[in-house]
Chain A
Amino acid sequence: MLVQPKAKNARSKRFLANREAKVVENVKTAIFVRGSKTSKVIQDTLKDLYSLRKPDAINFTKKNEIHPFDDETSIEFFARKNDSSLFAVGIHSKKRPHNLILGRLFNYQILDMIELGIEQYKSMEELKSKMCSVGNKPLMVFNGEGFGQNEDLIRLKSILLDFFRGETADKVSLKGLEYVITVTAGPQGPNGEQGLVYFRTYTTGLKKSGMRQPRVELEEMGPSLDMRIRRVRYPVEDMWKLAIKVPKELKEVKVKNITRDGLGDKYGRVHLGKQDINKIQTRKVKALKKSLDQKPAKKQRTMNVDSD
């Protein structure tokens, strides 16, 4: 007999239901994992990224023997345990110093990941500036033509957008636009090698401008990273196709005969059936009555009813 997996109580039932595939998904949880050997730079980076990603993040404080590019099993295991779909792994080695790996998972399997070598680093602590509040959505700015052309940079852009987008919201408080993450793709080297990527975070100050839109002033918040892209794992095509599928319920239903123009005006097209002129209602005049015989017949019927 097949054994039906069943939760023992209501709480665990709710817990399991929350982990199931959904039409509107939960916020992606990120895990921050330290490798078996890490440097101060890597540790601080993970800490700072974790504080940006809070509260939907889990920080692993212990070391783990982990190398996502060589062996996927352990990261997939962690993801399954913590129900997370984003990860940041920090490793430090002679061959690849200050190595930061960012990646995402689909259905607890690695979808794509990117390895970044940190060359310059400034932590939040060093900069000691105003902090943004926890769980706030950042503004994201991507600069550089590379983000439109280079495959690796496009992948990086997609991963970073996914990493920091936070909750999906249909409205945002205009007071709550507290910080900006900018990612700038630096120029290529003389031999055509990949340029540095500059990751900066700033807190915003909104000043009066005499108009509806305020003037923005920035202050560096940290972390600030100068990174170089190392290895990139691209998604398998089939898996990617499955991952970007939009559920039927969320697809916009096309409404027939209603169009909108560029200015936002709504146009409706109305289809009318053929008009029957014989049945048209005109002015009610006694002389226009169809037949006079109808009248006595009607009277008779009402009389019959009465007699009953």
Chain B
Amino acid sequence: MDVSGILEEHKNKFKSIQVDRLIPVEFDLGLLSCFDINMLDENKLKSNPTTRNNYLKELAREGAQLLINELFSLPTTIDEDSYYATLPKPTTVLPREKPVPKEKPMTRWEKFAKIKGIQKRKSSGKVFDEATGEWRQKYGFKGVNNDDQKPWLIEVPGNADPFEDQYKVRREEKKERIEKNKRRSQRNYEERVAVEKGIKPHEMRKRELQKALVMSKQSTASLGKFDEKLKGEPKIKGVKRKFDPLVGSADKEKSKNMEILNKVNKGVTKSTVLNVRKAQRAMNNAKRNKK
């Protein structure tokens, strides 16, 4: 039986989905887009708005038809009540929003654990509290480790002072543990910053200390002139205090005061004068950021 006639008839019932293009159209299905670099009809684009808009609409229709033909030929999955086309990865290169995240250097514990082969074990954050018959957090709010869960009786260790408050000892030990943890995390942080800056950690610490020293000196009225000198103390740069002699030439004093007055009159403010030091610092920061 010849069915070609029936097929032809069936086909004629619908409008065509075929679009002809001289140069094949490029697709980037990951971005649901297509790029058509065929020649356009200049006359239609330059003529009156209605013809132009109709032409643009026709172009858009054909482009969209091509794109939809491609999309409907992709492998599909059914989810809930709709067909989903599985998209390939986008081929067009588009920039990121932020730089690729840098790998954080390992903390001291992580380094140690790696050498020892200690692996993180996943444990649940909750424990069963038999007294109340409830599941409770191990740590944190209403946690088991909190002091309201303290035992009603604590055995006094053999070597301890019998009159010592064992509950207080417990509290203080916990505080100490927290402090110790904080100190360690601070140390890890400092080491991380040093690694990121490309300096050795102890060198970094030295620098920070020196900075603090300079600052403390600047906070005294005499700029640390009469402070006790430390061993190996660096010479502070840029801290000068020069006093003019009380008795001197009147002209010098006059010109100096006039200079100040002129500045005020001209309206020279902080914002109009270039702060060379500040500018230099900004430049250096910018350079560092670029790296």
Contact = CB atoms under 8 A, between A and B. Distances in A.
Interface in B163-179: none
B77 A141 contact: no
B51 to A, nearest CB: 13
Question: For chain B, which range describes its interface: under 10, 10 to 19, 20 to 34, or 35 or more residues?
Answer: 35 or more
Contact of B93 (A141, A171, A175, A244): A244
A263 interface: no
B195 interface: no
B276 interface: no
B38 to A, nearest CB: 7
B76 A174 contact: yes
Interface in A226-255: 235, 238, 240, 242-247
B31 A25 contact: no
B98 A107 contact: yes
Interface stretch (B63-71, B247-255, B258-266): B63-71
A1 interface: yes
Given A2-B190, A2-B208, A141-B34, A161 B94 contact: yes
Contacts of B94: 158, 161-162, 165, 244
Interface stretch (B84-92, B142-150, B238-246, B267-275): B84-92
Contacts of B65: 215-216
A214 interface: yes
Contacts of A177: 32, 68, 71
Interface string A165-188: 100111111111100101011110
A187 B46 contact: yes
B190 A143 contact: no
Interface string A196-239: 00101010101111111111111010001000000000010010
Contact of A172 (B36, B71, B97, B101): B71
Nearest to B204: A2
Contacts of B234: none
Contacts of A216: 17, 61, 64-65, 68
Interface stretch (A16-24, A63-71, A278-286): A16-24
Contact of B85 (A22, A25, A171): A171
Contact of A210 (B13, B53, B186, B190): B13
B100 A247 contact: yes
A247 B96 CA distance: 10
Nearest 3 CB-CB pairs, A to B? A141-B63, A243-B95, A140-B33
